[in-house]
Amino acid sequence: MLQKIISLKSIGRFSNCAASGDVEFRRLTLLFAGNGQGKTTLCSVLRSLQTGESSYLQERKTRGQTDEPDLTPIVVPA
């Protein structure tokens, strides 16, 4: 089970983001933000983690970045 995402780099709007504060996922986690703030990109990140397919991240690579998309999740064994 995914507990939290520590960092996102070169993925959509998340050019270099690190976790701050309480970012643990709970049984029910609500994502709320305006248009263009990265909700769909975050869904692609979650889909990539679920399936193990990096293509979801490649599709969301930050424009103009030379670095490959990268993320650091914390996963708790079920």
Q: How far apart are CA 47 and CA 58, in angstroms?
A: 12
How far is CA 59 from each of CA 3, 23, 39, 74, 76, rounded to the nearest angstrom?
24, 25, 15, 23, 27
Task: Output the pLDDT for position 11.
Answer: 96
Domain range enclosing 39: 2-75
Asked whether the whole model's pTM tops 0.75, one would answer yes
Q: Which pLDDT does position 4 carry in this prediction? A: 93
Indicate the number of domains in the chain.
1
pLDDT above 80 for 7: yes
For residue range 12-69, what is the model confidence (pLDDT) as tens digits?
999 999 999 999 999 999 999 999 999 999 999 999 999 999 999 999 999 998 999 9
